[in-house]
Amino acid sequence: MTDTAAPEALDSAIAVVGMNGRFPGAPDLDTYWANLLGGVTSITDFTEEELLADGADPAQVRGRDYVPSKGVLADADRFEASLFGFNRTEAAALDPQHRLLLQTAWSALEDAGYDPLAAPRRTGVYVGGGVTAHMLAAQTDPALAAQIGALQVRILTDREFLAPWISYRLGLDGPSLTVQTACSTSLTAIHLACQALLLGDCDTALAGGVAVDTVRRRGYVHYQGGIFSPDGRCRPFDQASGGTVPGNGVGVVVLRRLADALADGDPVRAVIRGSAVTNDGAARVGFTAPGVDQQTAAIVEAWTTAGLDPADAQYLEAHGTATELGDRIEATAATAAFKGALGTGSIGLGSVKANIGHLDAAAGVAGVVKTVLMLEHAVIAPTAGAGRPHPELVLGDSPFHVVTEAEDWPEPEYGPRRAGVSSVGIGGTNVHVVLEQAPPRSRDTGTPGPEVLLLSAHTGDALKALAGRLATALRAPDAPSLADTAHTLRFGRTPLAVRAYVLAADREEAAIRLGELAEGSPVSAPAAADDLRAIGEAWLRDERLPWPRRGRRVSLPTYPFGGESYGEHGPATAPASREQASQDENPASPAPEAGDGLDVSVRALLVETLGLAGTGDLAMTYFAAGGDSLAAVHLVGCLRDDFGIDVPLTLFLEELTLDELARRIVEAREPDDALDALLGEFENA
């Protein structure tokens, strides 16, 4: 067993400086940690009525082997579209996985103390997801393709574009890779992000994954000998284990080289000391079956890369699907890798799938986030519902014990707290990551005294929700200093349209004032704070004032995303003609003249393509309405094919209101009309 790593190994350390996720039963990480600590099983059991109301097949639901259970992600259909520059039509077409990843990436950067729209240069993105019902329905819907264009449908729904959308909407200029290794996708993405940082491909990286096969309530069919549990519960390594349970979720971590993170004062939450990826190749009984040797190799290689021994671990977050073959092979492989551990049962063993189900492409990042939280709190969370270990796994003769109740995790005498996280994908890709507790950080910085806290949001309700979250955070025993809080709110958040500020002399007063703001009450302020009040008033007017950099980035509550429900794309019927849509919008209007009819049709086309509420929105410019180059290409094609109007693509790049744009489009047809009239005169002569 090693005491410390070699200096060159420390040079390869990667810092987790921010993270965010949404998991079954947990809309935020505080709730996630509370559920983990309490051993809560967040699997939802549906009633027949709920399943049928969401369109499930009655015959299947009433079948003997149907299991009405799943790890559900609440509000997975909601999205703050305009915050990310999508119009309503695009937002409805955009796959729920894209929506969730965009919002989670935003929140992860905020957790790291960075403005999501002003992230560090050379920030890369490494994420992956699964196939969704929304994607399949949208890409086979001819009506949607006719409305916005087949290419646009693919770009808005295909998982191939998960990473590029984040890079585009957040302005990130590092590598942008969508990763796919089935169930090990998100842990593979984290491994690749670490490698990219060490190679210098990027200086900051977002990594993680998402899994939302459908936002509708659905169970599954249990097959004898299959991978799914017969009773809707996942019990890894347990004598009552019978298979896994599907679940939905999303998680993203923000990574930087440890040396850079420490030099820049980032809030380091944990350290990745090493990682490795292998594939079983042909050394397994079938394509979907795991293998022992290369799982062992991935663990050993990861710890060797870290300059450590697997025996230095105190905990292993296993893949742990609760399938008979998977658990047996994983236990055998891990036992071989960790054989040098001090004493039988000295390493805790668990799997978050017992809490939330199997999150497929997001399974690995769910385990990483869990392990980081345990390292931070110095507590090993129990495996939900754990009973007696499965006798065939022979864990009694291994280095492991299944964690059945919360255990204190003191810092070992020979070094910091350390853990491994494993993930295994169908197809044979095995990944292992070595995590270590963060280096100590001084608690407070800056001189105590009054501060101004600048808040902004996309809506008034979101501003109140944010103020309430901040009030709760500042009342916590481990709350950051007021100076660090003010600094992070000023430099680590995107300035949005709805704004407020709070003046306070200390954290307690700040919590009180923020509580007043959250309740919609008048916010009082210290009398002797004129200079800070001037900053706050300038903030409300969107004026820039010098701000003394006397704090550092800290982890604070992130943006309270809400937004409207965009649901999931399903079978569509052909839309009414644009002329009919225009008449439906104004049923009392007289029938237009020929020229007016073209004008009405063009305006209806713009309204439909951009997802506008009606022609009253035509006072906006094309880009303000959410238009982009692909939509412009689609519009140019529709104008040519439907109306015989040829307009240059550059017309959509001009600073015109949609009303003026429609007028210019109609005018483009007039020369052709004049030519037709002239030819008609010659024919009649």
Phi, psi of 603 (to 5 degrees): -65, -40
CA 195 to each of CA 188, 289, 607: distance values in angstroms, whole numbers, following the listed order: 11, 27, 46
| Segment 484-499, tens digit of pLDDT | 999 999 999 999 999 9
Q: What is the mean pLDDT of residues 357-381?
A: 98
Q: Which pLDDT score, from 0 to 100, does residue 508 have?
A: 94
Q: Which domains does the chain have, with CATH numbers?
A: 14-437 (3.40.47.10), 451-557 (3.30.70.3290), 578-684 (1.10.1200.10)
**Alpha-carbon dihedral angle through residues 296, 270, 105, 44, given to the nearest 10 degrees:** 70
Q: Tell which residue, 130, 111, 129, 117, has the closest CA to residue 85.
A: 117
| Segment 553-590, tens digit of pLDDT | 999 999 999 999 998 987 543 333 334 434 444 443 33
- 281 pLDDT exceeds 80? yes
Q: Tell which residue, 213, 247, 243, has the closest CA to residue 131.
A: 213
User: What is the token pair recorded at 546?
Assistant: 């010098």
SS3 sequence of 146-192: HHHCHHHHHHHHCHHHHHHHHHHHHCCCCCEEECCCHHHHHHHHHHH
Q: Which pLDDT band, with edges at 50, 70 and 90, does 624 fall under?
A: confident
Which residue would you say has higher pLDDT here, 524 or 163?
Answer: 163
- 345 pLDDT exceeds 80? no
Instruction: Determine the Cα–Cα distance for residues 604 and 612; give it in Å rounded to an integer.
Output: 10
Read off the pTM: 0.87
191 is catalytic: no
Q: Which pLDDT score, from 0 to 100, does residue 7 have?
A: 58
- 3 pLDDT exceeds 50? no
Which candidate in 98, 134, 191, 358 is catalytic?
Answer: 358
390 is catalytic: no
Which candidate in 98, 134, 222, 319 is catalytic?
Answer: 319
487 is catalytic: no
Instruction: Determine the Cα–Cα distance for residues 551 and 487; give it in Å rounded to an integer.
Output: 5
Instruction: Determine the Cα–Cα distance for residues 461 and 158; give it in Å rounded to an integer.
Output: 32
- 156 pLDDT exceeds 90? yes
> Which residue, chain included where needed, has tokens 């949609």?
658
How far is residue 37 CA from its own chain's centroid?
23
Q: Tell which residue, 158, 250, 44, 182, has the closest CA to residue 569.
A: 158
Q: Which pLDDT score, from 0 to 100, does residue 444 have?
A: 64
The mean pLDDT of the chain is 89
Question: Exposed/middle/buried for 265, CB within 10 Å: 0-12, 13-18, 19+?
Answer: middle
Q: Which pLDDT band, with edges at 50, 70 and 90, does 185 fall under?
A: very high
Which candidate in 98, 134, 183, 487 is catalytic?
Answer: 183
Q: Which pLDDT score, from 0 to 100, does residue 357 have?
A: 97
Q: What is the mean pLDDT of residues 145-151?
A: 91
SS3 sequence of 463-510: HHHHHHHHHHHHHCCCCCCHHHHHHHHHHCCCCCCEEEEEEECCHHHH
